[in-house]
Amino acid sequence: MLDSKIPGGTLDSKWTKYKGNVKLVNPANKRKLEVIIVGTGLAGSSAAASLGEMGYKVKAFCFQDSPRRAHSIAAQGGINAAKNYQNDGDSVYRLFYDTIKGGDYRAREANVHRLAEVSTNIIDQCVAQGVPFAREYGGLLSNRSFGGTQVQRTFYAAGQTGQQLLIGAYQALERQVALGTVTMYSRHEMVELVIIDGKARGIIARNLVTGELERHFGHAVLLCTGGYGNVFYLSTNAMGSNVTAAWKAHKQGAYFANPCFTQIHPTCIPVSGDHQSKLTLMSESLRNDGRIWVPAKQGDNRPANEIPEEERDYYLERRYPAFGNLVPRDVASRAAKERCDAGYGVGSSKQAVYLDYAAAIQRYGKAEVSKRNLGNVAPDVITALGKEVVKEKYGNLFDMYAKITGENPYEVPMRIYPAVHYTMGGLWVDYELKTTIDGLYALGEANFSEHGANRLGASALMQGLADGYFVIPYTLGNYLADDIRTQSISTDHEAFVAAEKKASDRINTLMSIKGNQTVESFHKRLGKIIWDKCGMARNAEGLKQAIKEVQALKAEFWSDVRIPGEINGMNPELDKAGRVADFIELGELMCLDALERNESCGGHFREEFQTPDGEALRDDENYMYVAAWENKGNSWELHKEILNYEIVKPSQRSYK
């Protein structure tokens, strides 16, 4: 039976009450307790810094050459917090409610409320670290709006919010390295979890430079390893982002929850050809000022600028007048797909829609004219002033678009199309962020918790930092308080020896296949299966077929993959092979999960279950649960965590 260990009491008192009663570890004992943290994105860096500050002995691992490179760095738009600095009706409850509703009623109320509560502390902490958030002329923090909300609660640093937040956490982490509380292992990848007497007690890590396998003990292990979007091959994730650490944990007993809940982000730069290695996101903040449209006529090949206003279909504004271009991501993505599938797409591939800044440039231009008291000016002056304002707000995004496509977005509308961006699913965790393996925790995108079936914009950064700065420092102590008498276990222990052998056997097997096909080619094929059959729209028939195809691909991989180079030494192809092998197995579970969930909700859209006007049709009576999958070797067993909504009354999500 899954116990989410949600504390008693009213929703808004649970976290306070928990903190008041949680077990503590005294400073002398903290110095004796070792904690392993895998991954150094926002969740991992903030946890490593905070736990180091508290006095724990922390070992942090990342596969990149420096902890500052983790993919949190690429988050553009911003971070939400219920500060209500804009006096526009925001509150902890409002942020909680928006997140629950945005997640299509598939997240835990207690976790989400806690997230909303600590959101305000995150902003304070980051400002204190020197994170240069955008400010108004009065010197105070600036806010912008984001999809799925009607208040302005998003804090940002131009289009580089993730970068600035991660640099803040990274600097805090490096400070602890200097103080000796954190030891950093860069260019290391976790390849096995070590369990002793039912508790996570360490990891086997591969030194990616030398190829050596290393044993590391920890009283507890924290996985802060991000999401699994790269299962689709093409995604906005970094090339190295992978599921391997989480998958090793899953195969040793950690349940994997809601794997089919993946987020397809509506505003990405479209695919240009077969050579494409990854996709680039254009921040959702662009939907604040940009208008999304397609030609009203099918197969209209005229350049965008030649299509008159009345022959354009601003389909989001038409279908969702209340939220317009700011509907949540899943809704916006599906609407784009619907238009393209119906033959209204633009660009050479016809798999794109326009994101147009012409109106915003005029609006800002006119505002500048009146602000500067310029009186009657020529239209090109208005346009030039408007472009200046847009450049200040979104300049780096526009530059990025121009570099990739060779087109100037100040002159012609951008072409965008949805792409895989975030994974709401992940390792199942309880209220304390603990997985079903004792002593093993999952933080940030690696866990399944706060976003339900769809994540709202500017909430990933919030969750990563909430988990690392303000949740794990309390909940980990509650576990370690009972572990103060456990001496460090020698890495000569048989469990370490066995785990290392398992990892080494697998590497040897991979290298000895010496087949004919490259790792990359398998990854591409896997991505195509999952994108076509478990992507923006799914159906039972397709999913059943996908499972068969993935199983066949797995067999083919293990008999025909070719990995060049050697085991001892830097070998990026070998690293990639291990990750792709795990993605293949995860791919099967995703399809299984999507097949089992006979409803549509959030990012999971089953074609069989939709309202007459094409919206997602939930089945609360039968599917209001978290699907937590237990690995049984070659199959999986489903465990259900029933979601109880005490405060929010689930209804059909409407943004009309």
- DSSP codes, 181-210: SEEEE-SEEEEEEEEETTEEEEEEEEETTT
Q: How far is the CB of 340 from other proteins (least distance, A)?
A: 20
Distance, in Å, from the CA atom of 249 to the CA atom of 39, rounded to the nearest integer, reads: 14
Burial bucket for residue 27 (CB in 10 Å: 0-12, 13-18, 19+): exposed
Distance CA 322, CA 632 (A): 47
Q: In Å, how far are 20, 386, 433, 442 from 475, measured between CA atoms? A: 12, 50, 8, 12
Of these, 37, 42, 157, 352, which contacts other proteins (CB under 8 A)?
Answer: 157
Per-residue x/- track, 182-221, other proteins (CB under 8 A): --x-x----------------------x------------
Q: According to CB under 8 A, which residues from 501 to 540 bind other proteins?
A: 516, 518, 520-521
Comparing CB distances to other proteins, the nearer of 102 and 413 is: 413
Q: Give the shortest CB-545-to-other proteins separation in angstroms.
A: 28
Interface pattern 97-126 for other proteins (x via CB under 8 A): ------------------------x-xxxx
Among 35, 36, 43, 49, binds other proteins (CB under 8 A): 49
Q: Under the phi-then-psi rule, with left for phi > 0, alpha for psi from -120 to 50, and beta for the rest, what region is 602?
A: left
| Cα separation, 445 vs 226, whole angstroms | 5
Min CB(303)–other proteins separation in Å: 12
Give min distance, CB of 172 to other proteins, in A: 6
- What is the Cα Rg of the chain in Å? 24
24 binds other proteins (CB under 8 A): no
Work out the number of other CB atoms within 10 angstroms of the CB of residue 569: 12
- Region near other proteins per CB under 8 A, out of 62-70, 218-226, 295-303, 610-618: 62-70
9/565 with CB nearer other proteins:
565
The residue within the footprint of other proteins, chosen from 104, 117, 174, 549 (CB under 8 A), is 174
Nearer to other proteins, 474 or 625 (CB): 474
Residue type, 210: T
Using CB under 8 A as the binding rule, the residues of this chain from 258 to 277 that contact other proteins are: 272-273, 275-277
Kindly report the backbone phi and psi dihedral angles of residue 207, in degrees, each rounded to the nearest multiple of 5, phi listed first.
-75, 110
For β-strands 188-196 and 199-207, DSSP reports them as antiparallel
Span near other proteins by CB under 8 A; candidates 49-57, 301-309, 438-446, 636-644: 49-57
Kindly state the smallest distance separating residue 242's Cβ from other proteins, in Å: 11
The least CB distance from residue 309 to other proteins, in Å, is 25
Per-residue tokens: 168: 């803040």
Contact of 448 with 206, CB cutoff 8 Å: no
CA–CA distance, 201 with 196 (Å, rounded to integer): 6
Residue 171 near other proteins by CB under 8 A: yes
Rounded to the nearest 10°, the torsion over CA 145, 617, 455, 471 is 120
CB of 74 to other proteins, least distance (A): 5
Tell me how many helices (H) and strands (E) the chain has.
19, 21
Note whether 87 binds other proteins by CB under 8 A: no
Site for other proteins in 121-140 (CB under 8 A): 121, 123-130, 132-140
Map the footprint of other proteins across residues 393-422, applying CB under 8 A. 399-400, 403-407
Residue 466 DSSP symbol: I
Q: Among residue numbers 277 through 336, which ones bind other proteins (CB under 8 A)?
A: 277-278, 280-281
CB of 284 to other proteins, least distance (A): 15
Closest CA to 535 of 351, 353, 325, 405: 351
Decide: 69 and 45 in contact? Cβ < 8 Å: no
Return the HEC string of 144-190.
ECCCCCCCCCEECCCCCHHHHHHHHHHHHHHHHHHHCCEEEECCEEE
Judged by CB under 8 A, the chain residues 547 through 566 that form the site for other proteins are 562, 564-565
**The only residue of 96, 256, 431, 469 in contact with other proteins, by rule CB under 8 A:** 469
CB 390, min distance to other proteins, A:
17
DSSP state for residue 487 in the 8-state scheme: P
Nearer to other proteins, 321 or 569 (CB): 569
Interaction between residue 240 and other proteins (CB under 8 A) = yes
Pull the structure tokens for residue 125: 């902490």
HEC profile of 262-282: EEEEEEECCCCCCCCCCCCEC
Cα angle for residues 374, 380, 381 (degrees, 5° grid): 25
**Structure tokens, 276:** 């494409």
Cβ 573 to other proteins, closest distance in Å?
A: 6
Number of residues this chain uses to bind other proteins (CB under 8 A): 86
Between residues 253 and 395, which has the closer beta carbon with respect to other proteins?
Answer: 395
The piece of 87-95, 108-116, 420-428, 468-476 that touches other proteins (CB under 8 A) is 468-476
Binding piece for other proteins, criterion CB under 8 A, among 4-12, 235-243, 250-258, 547-555: 235-243
